[in-house]
Chain A
């Protein structure tokens, strides 16, 4: 059974760096075709994809946030970490991590964490 859970601070101040950890079980990030992504959702708004890391260390970022995002994985701990620098109140959102799978060349997010709400405020 695949599970993912996000953890990190619930409140950060403007200009601070946010570090979120996705701890997962039920799969390995050493397995071909597997990835973990981060998606966020401001209150009352739509979903926004942020970043992805794959089993082979391939990393992808949203161009609008690329300069502030870093995604890494620790396969021994079954964790993926997302850091976002220079946080702003507009970054207030629920942050989700999700398991990404490939199936006959189709990619999709089939398991999601419960999400963690991060508020950016002084």
Chain B
């Protein structure tokens, strides 16, 4: 199975900060990667698919990049509603595998 390693596991940031979260695949997955945001007690919400395509309705401050094994989710200017946990998911082959998550907390 492809292992997805996210870093950092948590970070503290202030409103307005630029935040980057990384996800590394144990083998090449082309651009078959999605990013999901999850708030406490809620279901995950799709932000980005195909590594860099913004899901409809998602604010443009979210962006994704990368291909092969290294991927990045960037929040250009952190907003209060962005404090949450973020997961990457590889859709390249089965079993589908999630990263361990990155919790974004208020500094």
Contacts and interface: CB of A to CB of B under 8 A. Distances in A.
B98 A46 contact: yes
Contacts of B69: none
Given A106-B32, A107-B91, A108-B34, A46 B99 contact: yes
Contacts of A46: 87, 98-101
Given A106-B32, A106-B50, A114-B43, A60 B98 contact: no
Given A49-B98, A63-B1, A113-B43, A103 B87 contact: no
A62 interface: yes
B41 to A, nearest CB: 9
Contacts, number: 64
Contacts of B46: 108-110
B98 A109 contact: no
Interface of A: 37, 39, 46-49, 52, 60-64, 96, 98, 103-104, 106-110, 112-115
Interface of B: 1, 31-32, 34, 36, 38, 42-46, 49-50, 53, 55, 87, 89, 91, 94-101
7 contacts: A49-B89, A60-B94, A106-B31, A107-B32, A108-B49, A110-B49, A113-B43
